[in-house]
Structure 1
Amino acid sequence: MKKWTEPKSSIEKSNDTVMDAVFFQKEDEEQKWEKRVNILLVDDRKENLLSLEAVLDSPCYRLISVQSGEEALRWVLKEEFALILLDVQMPGLNGFETAKLIKQREKSKNIPIIFVTAISKATEHVLEGYESGAIDYIFKPFHPDTLAMKVEGFVQLYLNQQKIEYQSKMLQSRTRALEEANERYHRTVLELQKSEALSRTISETSVDTIITFDDNRLILSINPVLRTMFGYEPDEVMHKPINRLLALPFQTNEYVLDKIMESVAIRKDQTSFPVEIQIGKAMIGQRHIFVCSIRDITERKQLEIERKIHYEHLELLVEERTQELVVSQEQFKKIFHSSPCLIAIRSCDDGRYIDVNQCWLDHMQYSYDEIKNSSEDRLILVNERNSKNRSLDLEEAIRNEKIQYITHTHEVREGLLSTEIINIRGKRCILSVITDITEQVYLEKEMARLDRLHLIGEMAAGIAHEIRNPMTTVRGFLQLAQKTKNGSSFEFVDLMLAELDRANVIITEFLTLAKNKTNEMTKQHLAEALKSLLPLIEAEAVLSGKNVHIELSECPEIYLDGKEIRQLFLNLALNGLEAMPAGKTLTVKTYQKDDEVVLEVTDEGPGIQEELLEKIWTPFFTTKEKGTGLGLAVCYSVANRHHAKIDVESSSLGTSFYVRFKHDAIG
């Protein structure tokens, strides 16, 4: 065996770094307990440790040598020792102090300690050692055999104590095992008694017939339900083949265990009825016993037949209702998507668009992908109650409220809004329907304007003749007075003639508004009808220090009254020149756009205020100091008789008038 020491540290005498601690071997129903015990050697001198190791060298011992009390305490915390040989006189912690600290620990207080000392053998010194926890003293120089025998004796005591503790634990373990086995036995007996009582109760109270039979298919027992189900007394079928009760042939190899099967049972009067059977198998001694439960399912079969008939009827109803629902959905889908109204369905929870129809997309100028599942307000409404634009379609249900709504391209349109709260798959939604009345509102305004023009036209037709007759007489006498050049009033004759001429012009324009005016329509080019007036317009522009830019493109021929069109163009051109300061340019264009021929007159004046745009076509409305207010009204009347439309665009950079002759006027 290799011996080793290490100064100021632990020294372990062992052939292996890790030793087996305890092992048990069973022999003759008892275990032999063997263990390689730990012995701690403590001495500050290396030569003393070597001598102790030489004396105690044995394969049964694991000697651990240390050279200080502190190191000894560390090993006591880590390992279990059968014996400690402790030197008394050591630097640092001496033997007595080390022993006291070892005895204070609960786990190590029972370790035997033998003091090995070369100092005084006085009684008080030895007594102090025993008070510190020692059980024996060995004085140096010691006798090797005496030391070895003492150590062997303490080791045997330690091994016997360990064996006793182990046997005590084994005895306790076996006692607990026996107690648990006994408890399990009593529980098993109790469970068997309960099972027997329960089985008997189930057998006697069950609505099923319960039969036991053997390998030969002979009935061994049967419960009382046999009387009501089959009409037999138990004695009539005991030890008889089970085939008497069940129509299916039974062979041993045909049994299907623990599975419910349907079969046919036969009563005593030989009538049959449907049953459910379940067979279980048990082993009693060396004998196979089969348990068969039989349940009458006549009522259930009848219910299944009725249920099947009812189910087929329900299927027919469901199919009919489904078809009706499909037709209804198709009709709703067609109505929804082909409706001329703007229809949208939105969630009341988050404002998400669930669906919109094609009319909504066309008017709002969005694509379906932009709207579907979008929570952003796409429909901005304006009505009399709201001074600001806001969403109204998620408010309370309303009916035919007149509103204005703004499209994706910022066009303001007119409509009638109706909303309704609906539930779709349990979710609260709102259905908004807008009937677009933009064209209707426009037509109403046009009709109102035309009615005013018609009224003025009727007035013009009625009074023009009466006004011109006295004016003609007055003009004649004024002309005679002018030729004679006599009298003191000669200086006022020219002024009176000028005023009469101006009144005549007003009457002429007034008559132009008359609805019953006869038009002389001929097929001609718009540019040709205007060319005769261009020199006049250019001369007027030169006199006022302004410019004229003319672009007359080749366009298809349309039906025109040349005189009226020239009057319309002259009014627009002169208005434009009057509106511009010196140095600005008036632009005149004719061109074809899509199926329309367009006359465009654009000035570079200060523009027309937005609130006045709707009034400029009204007769007698003017912003000029000497204007009659009939120029644009005449233009509107002329355009209307030519089935044309006049649009105006105005800003601080100027105003543009567009006279659009419709396609039905194109030759």
Structure 2
Amino acid sequence: MQIAMKKWTERRNSTGKSSDSRKLISLEQTGSGDEQWDKPVNILLVDDRPENLMSLEAVLDSPDYRLVSVQTGQEALRWVLKEEFALILLDVQMPGLNGFETAKLIKQRERSRHIPIIFVTAISKANEHVEQGYAAGAIDYIFKPFHSNTLKMKVEQFVQLYRKKRQIEHQRQMLHLSTLELQNANYRYVQAMLELQKSEALSRTIVETSADTILTLDEKGAILSSNPIVEPMFGYSLQEVLHEPIGKLLVWEGDIAEGLQEGMIEACGLRKDQTSFPIDLQVGKATVHQQHIFVCSIRDITERKQFEAERRRYYQELESLVSERTQELRLSQELFQKNFQASPCLIAIRSCVDGRYIDVNQSWLDYTGYTYEEVKNCASDRIIQAPSLKQRYADKAIDLYDAFRNVNIHFLTKAGEVRDGLLSTESINVHGVSCVLSVITDITERVYLEKEMARLDRLHLIGEMAAGIAHEIRNPMTTVRGFLQLGKKQDGGAVKPFLDIMITELDRANTIITEFLTLAKNKTNDLQRKNLFQVIDPLLPLVQAEASLAGKNLQTMLDECPPVDLDEKEMCQLFLNLALNGLEAMETDGTLTIKMYPKDNAVVLEIIDEGPGIQEELLEKIWTPFFTTKEQGTGLGLAVCYSIANRHHAKIEVSSSSKGSVFTVRLPIPQDE
């Protein structure tokens, strides 16, 4: 293993980066004076024998040298790549890469080709060896054993040549630096002259083409120069104003020279014909050769003053008009607000951008049951689709898309009640936001009354028919039934079974006629103050027996309720009709639930079954006489129940789903209770 022997006699110097040729090289970067030349120079010693290297180091040991010792040509090449050397002492005979080959490689590199190489060798002094050394790039030969003083003198001479070369390079750089500084100074001077000429030309052009009169004054206010605009503005020629006091052109109280101050003021100009006009006077101050010079710019503002007067008059008229319009708008807003809040219709203002509610009136809150805080800025819609527009708008809010006039809709209250209304909309703008004004007229009661009137009209017609024809039908039926019974007693032969069938059908027809008569509007009933529980409790065993026979269940939840006015026979008929209908609608193991409880000044009776439910389109028809979904039904049961409820001033309602139906009867509690 080869050992590299190095001796460091001084601290290492950092190498500076080369700068661009267009930039100035500062003295701090390059160094100045003797400081740069006092630094030790690098000398590379190359020999494969450590004793030879030690001998060379001993001879050349000096604070002026930094000796780097290596034992192979490869190491020498690596050091040449990293450092700059003033001299290389190179042994010729080395294993691997010999001295000649090493020298050739060093000379091939641009950065190291200038480094002097002295061959130190102990081989023959024959001319062919010497010539080979010089051909490889050596500048001298030293033969072993060498004379130490001779070696030191040779090395010293090469070091001095290296230092001179570095000094010349430094001087060249300094000269280049000075040249660049002179060039930059000359460039700045030329640029300054060009800028000055341009500024002078620009200033002269501005002064000559300006629409303002530009004057220069001395300290006493005498005019030194003026631009040509003074003649059209004041009526004086240029010669007539030169060396004249500035007071000749201005209406000024007091000493003008003392009153001239830097800044802009409004004053009055004085023409040659002694007419005055408003001006803007701008004064600037400069010092030239220790003398104060004033520069005055005079602008005719007659048109501006006229425009300002016209603008003030226009603003006054505009303010008066705005005040009138504001008063009208305030009055209009007050009227709108009063109409908005006092209207019996449901009124809402909604944003067309995000659908949120901007404002609603009190009627809207009263009908829907919401508070104002629940509605304000709420984006969820409360309007159900209009029946005729359901397919077109699906589940969208129809009031945000098109304008409508009295379109039938349904709207939903907070309690879940669906009410009827007429929708009208109008597009409006609120603070720059596109909005819609929705007005809903609640017609729930009107729709209910119309349906009730239509239903009552049908019942009245049927009642009149029943009252008119029942007597005529029952008389012949009674006669026929009597003769059938008489024939049954006299002849018990083969026709007896047929006679039984005929009598049964006559009894059934009589029952239908009896129920038909119940629909009569003028039917009298005996209303008495009773507890509903006392009416339906005796009927529960009958309903339980029917449920047990059919394999079904009965459940009752009957609360204490105040007494109401009712006809016991009719109420029994109503209860049995609803209960038996519920049992018939259910399959085996179904449960019929009967509830009774007080609520909202009424006694509520609920009959709940677990049948398949009633189709939505049939709900409005089930109260119609002779309408039935049963194969053996007469279609009079529910019609009779509706007629009984009407005579008791009660409400009967039905709600249905696929899980069953709920029939609800609300009997009003007397007010004196």
* Mapped contact 2:247–2:256 kept (Cα < 8 A): no
Structure-2 separation of matches of 1:195 and 1:583: 111
Pick one of 304, 310, 325 that aligns with 1:306: 310
- Shift of residue 565 of structure 1? 3.6
* Mapped contact 1:265–1:272 kept (Cα < 8 A): yes
* Mapped contact 1:537–1:573 kept (Cα < 8 A): no
Structure-2 separation of matches of 1:13 and 1:578: 119
Determine the structure 2 residue equivalent to 1:104: 108
376 and 138 in structure 1: CA distance in 2 versus 1, 3 angstrom threshold: farther
Structure-2 separation of matches of 1:25 and 1:587: 111
User: Per the alignment, in what secondary structure is the counterpart of residue 221 of structure 1?
Assistant: strand
463 and 255 in structure 1: CA distance in 2 versus 1, 3 angstrom threshold: same
- Shift of residue 459 of structure 1? 1.1
273 and 607 in structure 1: CA distance in 2 versus 1, 3 angstrom threshold: same
**What whole-Å deviation, never above 9, does each CA across 1:73-103 have from its counterpart, x for those lacking one?**
2222122222222222233332212211111
TM-score normalised by L of structure 1: 0.78
Which shows bigger deviation, 365-374 or 392-401?
Answer: 365-374
Determine the structure 2 residue equivalent to 1:662: 668
45 and 299 in structure 1: CA distance in 2 versus 1, 3 angstrom threshold: same
* Mapped contact 2:565–2:670 kept (Cα < 8 A): no
* Mapped contact 1:418–1:434 kept (Cα < 8 A): yes
* Mapped contact 1:577–1:586 kept (Cα < 8 A): yes
- Shift of residue 125 of structure 1? 0.8
- Shift of residue 212 of structure 1? 1.6
- Shift of residue 633 of structure 1? 1.6
Structure-2 separation of matches of 1:62 and 1:494: 149
TM-score normalised by L of structure 2: 0.78
* Mapped contact 1:545–1:582 kept (Cα < 8 A): no
* Mapped contact 1:648–1:656 kept (Cα < 8 A): yes
346 and 25 in structure 1: CA distance in 2 versus 1, 3 angstrom threshold: closer
662 and 535 in structure 1: CA distance in 2 versus 1, 3 angstrom threshold: closer
* Mapped contact 1:591–1:597 kept (Cα < 8 A): yes
Determine the structure 2 residue equivalent to 1:90: 94
Which shows bigger deviation, 564-573 or 87-96?
Answer: 564-573
Question: What is the total number of aligned residue pairs between the two structures?
Answer: 650
* Mapped contact 1:336–1:343 kept (Cα < 8 A): no
Determine the structure 1 residue equivalent to 2:11: 16
Is 1:211 aligned with 2:206? no
503 and 38 in structure 1: CA distance in 2 versus 1, 3 angstrom threshold: closer
Is 1:632 aligned with 2:627? no
Structure-2 separation of matches of 1:549 and 1:392: 43
Which shows bigger deviation, 583-592 or 457-466?
Answer: 583-592
Pick one of 387, 390, 393 that aligns with 2:394: 390
User: Per the alignment, in what secondary structure is the counterpart of residue 448 of structure 1?
Assistant: helix
Note the residue ranges of structure 1 that are not aligned, 5 or more in a row. 1-5
Is 1:163 aligned with 2:158? no
127 and 251 in structure 1: CA distance in 2 versus 1, 3 angstrom threshold: farther
User: Per the alignment, in what secondary structure is the counterpart of residue 91 of structure 1?
Assistant: coil
Pick one of 593, 604, 608 that aligns with 1:598: 604
Report matched runs for 1:482-493 at 5 Å.
none
- What is the one-letter code of the residue matched to 1:165? E
- What is the one-letter code of the residue matched to 1:390? A
Determine the structure 2 residue equivalent to 1:451: 457
* Mapped contact 1:10–1:71 kept (Cα < 8 A): no
User: Per the alignment, in what secondary structure is the counterpart of residue 659 of structure 1?
Assistant: strand
Which shows bigger deviation, 431-440 or 450-459?
Answer: 431-440
Is 1:280 aligned with 2:317? no
**What whole-Å deviation, never above 9, does each CA across 1:211-247 have from its counterpart, x for those lacking one?**
2223444432222222333344444443444455453
User: Per the alignment, in what secondary structure is the counterpart of residue 171 of structure 2?
Assistant: helix
Report matched runs for 1:192-591 at 5 Å.
192-246=196-250, 247=252, 257=262, 259-268=263-272, 271-318=275-322, 320-321=324-325, 340-341=345-346, 345=350, 347=352, 353=356, 355=358, 357=360, 381=385, 383=387, 390-393=394-397, 397=402, 399=404, 440-468=446-474, 503-522=509-528, 524-527=529-532, 531=535, 535=538, 538=541, 542=545, 554-572=560-578, 575=581, 590-591=596-597
* Mapped contact 1:377–1:391 kept (Cα < 8 A): no
86 and 517 in structure 1: CA distance in 2 versus 1, 3 angstrom threshold: same
* Mapped contact 2:345–2:440 kept (Cα < 8 A): no
Structure-1 separation of matches of 2:646 and 2:392: 36
- Shift of residue 450 of structure 1? 1.9
Pick one of 604, 610, 617 that aligns with 2:615: 610
Is 1:115 aligned with 2:119? yes
Structure-2 separation of matches of 1:601 and 1:442: 23
Structure-2 separation of matches of 1:649 and 1:374: 30
- Shift of residue 469 of structure 1? 5.2
* Mapped contact 2:349–2:435 kept (Cα < 8 A): no
Structure-1 separation of matches of 2:500 and 2:51: 162
468 and 69 in structure 1: CA distance in 2 versus 1, 3 angstrom threshold: closer
* Mapped contact 1:537–1:574 kept (Cα < 8 A): no
* Mapped contact 2:357–2:379 kept (Cα < 8 A): no
**What whole-Å deviation, never above 9, does each CA across 1:397-425 have from its counterpart, x for those lacking one?**
37466566788888766666677888888
431 and 382 in structure 1: CA distance in 2 versus 1, 3 angstrom threshold: same
Which shows bigger deviation, 535-544 or 96-105?
Answer: 535-544
56 and 346 in structure 1: CA distance in 2 versus 1, 3 angstrom threshold: same
**What whole-Å deviation, never above 9, does each CA across 1:335-370 have from its counterpart, x for those lacking one?**
77867458574657xx65465747778888888888
User: Per the alignment, in what secondary structure is the counterpart of residue 192 of structure 2?
Assistant: helix
- What is the one-letter code of the residue matched to 2:310? E
Report matched runs for 1:18-167 at 5 Å.
18=13, 34-35=36-37, 36=39, 37-167=41-171
Is 1:642 aligned with 2:637? no
Structure-2 separation of matches of 1:80 and 1:250: 81
Structure-1 separation of matches of 2:151 and 2:340: 113
Is 1:173 aligned with 2:190? no
92 and 567 in structure 1: CA distance in 2 versus 1, 3 angstrom threshold: closer
474 and 148 in structure 1: CA distance in 2 versus 1, 3 angstrom threshold: closer
Structure-1 separation of matches of 2:210 and 2:589: 118
Note the residue ranges of structure 2 that are not aligned, 5 or more in a row. 18-24
321 and 131 in structure 1: CA distance in 2 versus 1, 3 angstrom threshold: farther
Q: Could you say what the CA RMSD is over the residues aligned between the two structures, in angstroms?
A: 4.9
- What is the one-letter code of the residue matched to 1:40? L
Q: Percent identity?
A: 58
User: Per the alignment, in what secondary structure is the counterpart of residue 454 of structure 1?
Assistant: helix
500 and 142 in structure 1: CA distance in 2 versus 1, 3 angstrom threshold: closer
- What is the one-letter code of the residue matched to 2:3? K
* Mapped contact 1:397–1:418 kept (Cα < 8 A): no
- What is the one-letter code of the residue matched to 1:14? T
610 and 432 in structure 1: CA distance in 2 versus 1, 3 angstrom threshold: same
Which shows bigger deviation, 128-137 or 466-475?
Answer: 466-475
Structure-1 separation of matches of 2:89 and 2:586: 129
* Mapped contact 2:421–2:443 kept (Cα < 8 A): yes
155 and 333 in structure 1: CA distance in 2 versus 1, 3 angstrom threshold: farther
User: Per the alignment, in what secondary structure is the counterpart of residue 202 of structure 2?
Assistant: helix
Pick one of 184, 188, 205 that aligns with 1:184: 188
User: Per the alignment, in what secondary structure is the counterpart of residue 11 of structure 1?
Assistant: coil
